[in-house]
Structure 1
Amino acid sequence: MNDKGKTTGGEMFSFRFVYIFSYNLFQFCGHTWILSNTIARFLTFGKDAIADTFHSVGFVMSLCQLLSILELFHIADGIEKARLLPRFIQVTEKNLLLILVIMLEEIQSEPVVCVQFLLWNILDLLRYPHELLRVMGTPSVTMLRTRYTLWIPLYVLSVATEGVTLYQALPLLEAAGPNSIPIHPPFILLFYLPVLVLGATVTVWQLLKERQRHLDKLNNKIKRR
């Protein structure tokens, strides 16, 4: 990608371009399938589909979230232009919570897991289409505004849902016995929830700065045309 944000012919066939385009396309297709499957099952089976959300889409969700760790290397290597700290917080909190849900079969059927998956997928479907257009050198101001305008409040709601999920999981962890986890569950709540709130605060602050930076850059390009 050159300084003007347009993809040249040589870059179009470079390994980096093919790789990052394929990655974003895979994530977009994966999250589209998860969201479509979840909505279709709810429309077909009603409330009964909520309890089966994890079993129907859990594998694809786990794969998408596991691969999202690669985004930290994308940013560090300069393939993707974004702030590392907020992405690290987002990737870490999602994967840690997903591991917790995978460990506890009892919580997989709870409605909060379905809500959590819906929020995660909506957030990612606001991001990956924009990333695809940006990789191709055709970023959209409208999509950028939509992404950050909706993304930030939805992210805050997602973090609140993560806290609820953890709170509901604590009795299950305690009932599982001391052999399953070396730390007493209430201490996990006292430690993790403040960290989650602090991480979300830092992430929102960084995303607001990133939103302004991207908008200023695109507006300047439009003025120069």
Structure 2
Amino acid sequence: MGRNRVQSASELSFRLVYIFSYNLFQFCGHTWVLANTIARFLTFGEDAIADTFYAVGFVMSLCQLLSILELFHIADGIEKARLLPRFVQVMEKNLLLIMLIMLEEVQSKPVVSVQLFLWNILDLLRYPHELLCVMDKPSIAMLWTRYTLWIPLYILSVANEGASVTVWQLLQERKHHLEKWNKKKRK
């Protein structure tokens, strides 16, 4: 009986260390992306927008790729959340990032910088709260901030994602019409 209790305690400790490390990594990664984005904008002004994704895209993509683990956290019971909404959020961000990686012409658009800014603000509202909960020291101020500021920021983020898709579609349409025009002109 004592051996099972020790094994259970070590398993609990491993899970606690793992989930704390995961949330800390995400917090640090999103802090780095946000700080880098803001510092670049303050230093270079609007010129920073053109290569913001180039500067922070790898770390942002890494954090977002690792967020797939959250689906396993929920399924395994490490994290208490609903799976379907998290699945939609994680996959939506991952698909948009894949699209951004594939479409280099979109990476320099202001809408991308705005989206990265909003995503990182949202995650910086979330991960400190998760860290405090893992440490069993929840803060009512952090809880209120996370679940109150999250609403308008999420709405802005979703509206901006729709704008990102629209910009991409308009660029594709532009490319198609210009190619069509060039083919007509050559004939």
Considering the TM-score relative to the shorter chain, is it more than 0.5?
A: yes
Rounded Cα–Cα distance in structure 1 between residues aligned with 2:115 and 2:30:
13
Distance 2:154 2:96 in 1: 15
**Counterparts of residues 7-18 of structure 1 (less than 5 Å):** 10=9, 14-18=13-17
Aligned partners of 1:12 and 1:18 also within 8 Å: no
- Separation in structure 2 between the aligned mates of residue 19 and residue 176 of structure 1, nearest angstrom: 47
Partner in structure 2 of residue 158 of structure 1: 157
Q: CA deviation at 1:171?
A: 3.4
Residue 147 of structure 1 pairs with residue 146 of structure 2: yes
In structure 2, the partner of 1:117 is 116
Any residues of structure 2 matched to 1:14-163 within 5 Å, and which?
14-163=13-162
Between the aligned partners of 1:174 and 1:161, the Cα distance in structure 2 is 20
Structure 1 residues not aligned, in runs of 5+: 1-9, 178-225
Deviations 1:97-133 (A, max 9, x none): 1111111000000000000000000000000000000
Aligned-partner Cα distance in 2 for 1:24–1:130 = 9
Please list the CA deviations of residues 166-194 of structure 1 after superposition, one character each: whole Å capped at 9, or x if unmatched: 011113445677xxxxxxxxxxxxxxxxx
| Superimposed CA distance per residue, residues 1-29 of structure 1 (whole angstroms, 9 cap, x where no aligned partner) | xxxxxxxxx47971101110100000000
Q: Secondary structure at the match of 2:70?
A: helix
Aligned counterparts of 1:176 and 1:103: Cα–Cα separation in 2: 16
Give unpaired runs (5+ residues) of structure 2. 1-8, 177-187
How far 1:96 moved relative to its partner?
Answer: 0.7
Are the counterparts in 2 of residues 11 and 17 from structure 1 also a CA contact under 8 Å?
Answer: no
**Any residues of structure 2 matched to 1:167-178 within 5 Å, and which?**
167-173=166-172
Secondary structure of 1:124 counterpart: helix
Closer, same or farther in 2 for the Cα pair 1:38/1:12, shift >3 Å? Answer: farther
Cα-to-partner distance string for 1:33-73 (whole Å, 9 max, x where unaligned):
00000111111111100111100000000000000011011
Give the TM-score normalised by the residue count of structure 1. Answer: 0.71
The CA RMSD measured in Å over matched residues stands at: 1.6
CA gap of 1:80–1:176, structure 2 versus 1, over 3 A, is farther
Whichever of the two has the greater Rg, that structure is 2
SS of 2:79's equivalent in the other structure is coil
Which is richer in helix?
2
* TM-score in terms of structure 2 length: 0.85
Match of 1:137, SS?
A: coil
Percent sequence identity over aligned pairs: 77
